[in-house]
């Protein structure tokens, strides 16, 4: 299997964009008929979730290189919800879409090893192409993820500077700030697993809601793919994101979740008869907004 960064940029080149769609399933926001089915019980909500994601992924597959299932929303429905997540991962991979599992795992060494094997080995569930991890417990907690990911040519995205409003309480603390220290560790870890060109398999999460800081973090992590969450519904826009990209349009992947998943609820799209076409319309809006930014990378 190819190095993760190579697979990622190949997928971006093939689809012609660096957009990522987050799969954050909330049954009360499912389009019909899935929303109606989800109202009856947790088990029926999980059945609706599985069917919905298969239809959604069919819509996304022609244009989107990578999706990001948010594990928490699936796990909220218990065993059946977890099974729906595994099905979405498997079906995305069947359609040729990369899968970044957003689980934000992080624990002591032996537990980290178990998490990494679960999501990367392909034995317990469909192998994720990449995983988000929380580095708060330190290097010894991250090292098992780094080792197992390298064994399976998978990627990691380490939380560096997140998109939520309260992120600065810890991430801005200290001198240098904690986020900068994590970024320097990401750079150091990444140098141990490069793709033969200029990219590492160890990436970083830097919120798209923080464009003013993006150039700073790119300087600290010149080889790290950057996951830029918060585009759209959380208030992030394409403005300022060009610092993530190089002249080839590589370097960043920009995530939108609710802005795409809830497109069927938009009043301005009610003239479009079905939810699939509304989603497709919202995807096109996102791609149009990102195109000049991705091309402006230096």
Enzyme catalytic residues: 104
Left (φ > 0), alpha (ψ -120 to 50) or beta: where does 68 sit? beta
- Cβ burial of 117 (10 Å; 0-12, 13-18, 19+) is middle
What angle do helix axes 178-190 and 139-151 make, rounded to 10 degrees?
A: 30
The Cα 62–Cα 69 span in angstroms is 18
**Residue carrying the six token digits 């019909």:** 32
Contacts of residue 149, Cβ cutoff 8 Å, sequence gap at least 6 = 4, 116, 120, 130, 131, 155, 156, 193, 201, 202
106 to 15, 40, 294: CA distances (angstroms): 32, 35, 31
Local structure of residue 224 (DSSP, 8 states): -
The Cα 139–Cα 141 span in angstroms is 5
**Residue carrying the six token digits 């939520």:** 164
In 150-159, which positions are buried (b, 16+ CB within 10 angstroms) versus exposed (e)? bebbbbbbbb
| C-alpha torsion sign, points 266, 236, 57, 120 | negative
């Amino acid at each position: 299997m190819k190095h993760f960064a190579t697979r990622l940029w190949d997928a971006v080149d093939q689809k012609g964009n660096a957009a990522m769609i987050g799969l954050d399933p909330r049954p009360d926001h499912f389009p019909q008929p899935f929303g109606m089915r989800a109202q009856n019980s947790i088990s029926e909500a999980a059945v609706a979730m599985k069917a919905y994601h298969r239809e959604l992924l069919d819509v996304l597959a022609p244009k989107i290189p990578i999706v990001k299932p948010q594990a928490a929303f699936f796990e909220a429905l218990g065993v059946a919800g977890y099974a729906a997540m595994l099905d979405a991962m498997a079906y995305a991979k069947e359609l040729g879409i990369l899968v970044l599992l957003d689980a934000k795992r992080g624990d002591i060494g032996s537990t980290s090893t178990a998490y990494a094997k679960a999501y990367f080995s392909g034995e317990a569930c469909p192998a994720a192409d990449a995983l988000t991890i929380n580095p708060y417990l330190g290097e010894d907690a991250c090292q098992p993820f780094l080792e197992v990911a390298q064994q399976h040519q998978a990627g990691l995205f380490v939380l560096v500077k997140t998109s939520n409003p309260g992120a600065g309480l810890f991430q801005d603390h200290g001198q240098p700030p904690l986020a900068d220290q994590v970024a320097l560790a990401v750079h150091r870890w990444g140098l141990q697993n490069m793709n033969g060109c200029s990219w590492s398999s160890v990436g970083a999460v830097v919120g798209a809601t923080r464009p003013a800081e993006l150039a700073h973090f790119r300087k600290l992590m010149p080889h790290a793919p950057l996951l830029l969450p918060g585009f759209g519904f959380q208030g992030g826009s394409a403005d300022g994101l060009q610092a993530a990209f190089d002249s080839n349009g590589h370097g960043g992947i920009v995530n939108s979740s609710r802005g795409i998943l809830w497109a069927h609820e938009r009043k301005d799209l009610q003239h479009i008869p079905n939810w699939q076409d509304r989603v497709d319309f919202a995807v096109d809006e996102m791609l149009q907004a990102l195109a000049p930014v991705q091309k402006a990378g230096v």
